[in-house]
A = this chain, B = another copy of it.
Amino acid sequence: MSARAGIIVTGTEVLTGRVSDLNGPWLAEQLRQAGVDVGFTIVVGDRPQDLADALDFLAGTHVDLIVTSGGLGPTADDLTAAVVGDWQSRPSVPDPELEKRIAEIVERLSARRSWPVDPEAMAAGTAKQARVPAGAEVLEPTGTAPGLVVPGSSGDAHPPVVVLPGPPGELQGMWPDAMASPLVNEALADRAELRQSTLRLWGTPEAAIAATLRRLDDDLDGLEITTCLREGELEVVTRYGVELAERYDRLEHAVVEEYGSAVFSTDASTVDDIVAHLLESRGLTIATSESCTAGLLAGRLTERAGSSAWVRGGAVVYSNEAKHDLVGVPTEVIERHGAVSEEVAVALAQGARRELRADIGVGITGIAGPGGGTAEKPVGLVHLCVAGPDGVISRAPVLGGGRSGVRARSVAVALHLVRELLQGG
């Protein structure tokens, strides 16, 4: 039986979707890597009773540790530390030394800002942030808010609670200290090595893999398998104890056997990883000409640090004039075949190669919608072309998912075409 944890993400702005939650998934992954099983992530608004209810629920599922994020700021709606303290029967008291350290940080930050700050207001915020539940460990601030490890109180069957700030950078910076806490280590003493392996397939329907898994069912005992279809990629993630490694290997072998080159990754690498590695290792460069995706492919290719070594740049050619002016698509090709056509996609790819002096050029032109579709060229039709020194690949899928879905999936298709061109050549 491995150690278990629950996560509580606080913040009305997260609950109502104004901010998307980066902390729950990040914490779940960190805990998984540390051999801790996570059963629940609960998102609650900035309401004390709701937070206390969520703590009660997780304690009732017998988790060994609870981790919270958010609600440690200077404003009155930031109430996590006080609620967790009360829940552990450990009322909060001022920590004057901590208050001094926070005040110094706030002062340093204010000096970099032009905003005139009322010193009394700042002091009130700092004093609030320096209140610590009795007996809690303080995790030193990585922003202005300190984190906490608040022990359970004898009597209640409450696990310790790690209280972390909401800004992802602060939370992530504080995590190593949290995991080094003696209280946390004691709580997670039972952690077991749990492996996670990932297969990624391109173009395979989820129903097909479902059939494969049904066929193999007798040999899957103890493997926790989840499949997920996303932007045309099918991801098969399996979690298992180390003792089942051979069983997992048989599963992987069976899937690779059945689906062949549709399995593009068996080591959890993404198509982004693979494309970056192929370009970098061969010393090739890439450039893009994007119409309907309007820079999203270039933005994704450059997410990676160091990508300037292989990304030359790109053209966002939303208007027909831009297609001509930036990457030299002949006006008559656009007039004859339409802006959304194989001919224009090829000219965009070749134009990107030529004008940006790159080895590989990618052209994307499509109808993202919601308007602009016709019977012949419906919304979702996207012409893509990848051109390299040794060949050209063109595709024209009809993609679904609304405007943003069509754009995101076009980027995914383009990355896979680049991968296919590089792996085939």
Contact = CB atoms under 8 A, between A and B. Distances in A.
A321 B57 CA distance: 58
B211 A124 contact: yes
Interface stretch (A179-187, A222-230, A415-423): A222-230
A269 interface: no
B40 A41 contact: no
Top 8 nearest A-B pairs (CB, nearest first) are A17-B25, A295-B295, A121-B211, A313-B322, A295-B298, A314-B316, A294-B302, A75-B210
A19 B230 contact: yes
Contacts of A407: 299
A227 B75 contact: yes
Contact of A356 (B25, B322, B370, B405): B322
A366 interface: no
Q: For chain A, what secondary structure do more than half of its interface residues adopt (helix, strand, loop), or is it mixed?
A: mixed
A380 B24 CA distance: 26
A43 B18 contact: no
B318 A315 contact: no
Contacts of A316: 288, 295, 298, 302, 313-316
User: Is the interface on chain A under 10, 10 to 19, 20 to 34, or 35 or more residues?
Assistant: 35 or more
A340 to B, nearest CB: 12
A43 B43 contact: yes
Contacts of A368: 305
Contact of A57 (B17, B45, B57, B355): B57
Contacts of A219: none
Interface in A314-365: 314-319, 321-322, 325-326, 355-357
A280 to B, nearest CB: 15
A39 B44 contact: yes
Nearest to A220: B76
23 contacts: A11-B226, A11-B228, A16-B28, A17-B29, A39-B44, A45-B226, A53-B57, A73-B206, A75-B206, A75-B210, A77-B226, A106-B207, A121-B210, A122-B207, A294-B313, A298-B316, A298-B318, A305-B370, A312-B319, A313-B315, A313-B326, A315-B316, A319-B356
